[in-house]
Amino acid sequence: MGWMHATSSKILIAVHATGRVAFCRMNMRTTCILGMAALLSCTKAGNAPSRTPEAQAKADAYVTRIEQRLAATPEDAGIRYCLCTAYDDAGRVSDALTCLEALDARGWPVSIRANDFHESPSTPEFQTLFRRSNEREVRVNRSHLAFTAPAQLVPENVAFDPKSGAFFLGSVAERKIVRVAGGRVSDFGNSGNLTPPLLSIVGMKVDAARRTLWAASEGGPSPKPRRSELLLFDIDRGELLHRFAPDDGDPHLFNDVVVSSQEDVFITDSVGGGVYRVSARGALRALVPGGAFPHANGIALSRDEKKLFVAYDVGIAVVDPQTGAHADLRNESSRSIAGIDGLYARGDELVAVQNNIGRARVVRIRLDAEGTRARDVEYLESGHPLFGDPAPTTGVLVGDQFYYIANFQLQLSRPLEDVQVLVLSLP
C-alpha cells in the first residue's frame, strides 16, 4: 500500500493505493497537498481498502444516504452507479458487483471507470462488466483541439476575457494563474509570487464589464483542517485586489464561482456542502448553509439571474440567489444529471461536464420554461479518447462554443502530458 509517483520538471504527483492523491512541488521546501479527487467524487467516501473505524463509518453512512436517494429515484442510473462505487468503497464487493450487474442489465450507455473502484476491479466479474460497458458506451465525437499548455500546471479550470480574447488557466499544482493569448502562455501578474502565496486555483470567472477576474482557491495538508479563499484580481494589471476567506475555523473547499451582472458572486463549498455569496464586494456570507449539497461543485446563473443551479453529487439544485431557498431540479429525462463538475447556463439549457459517474462526457440539459425541470439530457461529447483517466473537468462558454480542459491529470501514475483544451461547437 505505498505511493505511486508521476513526475514533471517541477512537481511530483503521488497516488496512494487507497486513492489519496498528493501534489508535491519539487523545490527547496517540498510542499504537498491532498488532491481534490478524494473529496469531490461520489466514488471517494472513505479510504479503502485499509479503513480506520472512522473511515468505515463514513463509508457506511454514505452508502445509506445513496440507498435512500436511489429509493426515491429508482430509474436514475447515475445515482445507481454512485451506489455501486459506495458499496465498493465500504468493502462490500459482492454488493458492488450486483449493483453493476443491474446497470448492465439496463444497458446503461456509459463506460465503467475502473479507478472509481478500489477492490472490485480485481474480480473477473468486474472485468467482464467493464468490457461490456466499454463496448456499449455512446460515442459522440465533435470536439477538436483549441490549444495546449505546459503539463506541470495541472489546471482544473479555464476562463475567458472577451475584450482581450485571452484565456486564463488556474494551476492546482503551481498555485498561480496563467494567461493564454496568441499561442503564448505567460504568468498572470505576480499570482505565483504573492505573500502569503496563493492556494491551489480551482474555479474562475471573468467579469468583463468591471475588468476583474474572480478565482476560488483551496489547499491544506489533509481534509481537516482545509483552507479556502475567494480571490479578486484586476484582469488588466494582474493585481490581486482582495482575498475573502471564511473565519469560522471549519474546513472548506471553495470550488466553482459565478458572477452576476450586479457583481454578486456565488461560490460552491465542496467540503462544507453549501454556497457562499459576496454581494458587490461586500462581506463573504453563507447563502445556503453547509450540508445542503454534499460535494457541491459546478454553479451557474439563469439567464434572468433569478435562479442559481448548483451541481452536487447526485443531482442539481435550483437556488434562490437572494434567500437561499432551494429545491432539486426535477429530472424527467431517462439520462442522469448526477455526477456533474462544470456547469454553465446557456439560454434555456445547461451545458455540463459529467465526470463523476463512469467515463466522462459533456452533456446538454434542456430545461422547462420555469427552469425547475430537466426535460431532456443530450450527450454532446462522449467516448472521447482523452476521457478516461485523466478526465475533463470544467470549461467556459464563448458564444456558441464551449472550451474545456480535457485532461485534468490529478490521479495519474505516469508522466504528465501537455494540458489539452478542446472546443466544442454547440448545435
Q: What percent of the chain has pLDDT above 90?
A: 79
* Average pLDDT over every residue of 145-160: 96
One domain, residues 356 and 406: yes
User: What CATH number does residue 189 fall under?
Assistant: 2.120.10.30
* Average pLDDT over every residue of 396-424: 89
One domain, residues 76 and 186: no
Q: Decide if 9 is inside a domain.
A: no
| Cα–Cα distance, 377 to 63 (Å, whole number) | 26
Per-residue pLDDT at 249: 86
One domain, residues 292 and 393: yes
One domain, residues 90 and 158: no
Per-residue pLDDT at 413: 59
Task: Specify the higher pLDDT residue, 281 or 72.
Answer: 72
Point out the least confidently predicted range of 23-37, 280-294, 296-310: 23-37
- pTM for this structure? 0.89
For residue 220, what pLDDT band results from cuts at 50, 70 and 90? low
For residue 387, what pLDDT band results from cuts at 50, 70 and 90? confident
Of 103, 136, 169, the position where a domain reaches its end is: 136
| Cα–Cα distance, 266 to 259 (Å, whole number) | 6
For residue 224, what pLDDT band results from cuts at 50, 70 and 90? low
Residue-wise pLDDT for 362-380, tens only, equals 999 999 999 999 999 999 9
Per-residue pLDDT at 170: 97
The count of structural domains within the chain is 2
One domain, residues 159 and 181: yes
Per-residue pLDDT at 34: 37
Q: Decide if 233 is inside a domain.
A: yes
One domain, residues 122 and 186: no
Q: Decide if 29 is inside a domain.
A: no
Point out the least confidently predicted range of 114-118, 151-155, 338-342, 414-418: 414-418
Residue-wise pLDDT for 296-307, tens only, equals 999 999 999 999
Q: State how far the alpha carbon of 193 is from the alpha carbons of 94, 109, 176, 185, 350, in Å.
A: 50, 46, 8, 17, 36
One domain, residues 218 and 81: no
Q: Which residues span the domain enclosing 420?
A: 146-425
| Cα–Cα distance, 237 to 189 (Å, whole number) | 7
Q: Is the pLDDT of residue 385 over 60?
A: yes
Residue-wise pLDDT for 299-345, tens only, equals 999 999 999 999 999 999 999 999 999 999 999 999 999 999 999 99
Q: Is the pLDDT of residue 95 over 70?
A: yes
Q: What percent of the chain has pLDDT above 70?
A: 86
Q: Decide if 28 is inside a domain.
A: no
One domain, residues 228 and 155: yes
For residue 265, what pLDDT band results from cuts at 50, 70 and 90? very high
Point out the least confidently predicted range of 29-38, 163-172, 237-246, 263-272: 29-38
Task: Specify the higher pLDDT residue, 27 or 228.
Answer: 228
With 0-12 / 13-18 / 19 or more C-beta atoms within 10 angstroms meaning exposed / middle / buried, residue 28 is: exposed
Q: Decide if 274 is inside a domain.
A: yes
| Cα–Cα distance, 273 to 253 (Å, whole number) | 9
* Average pLDDT over every residue of 157-179: 97
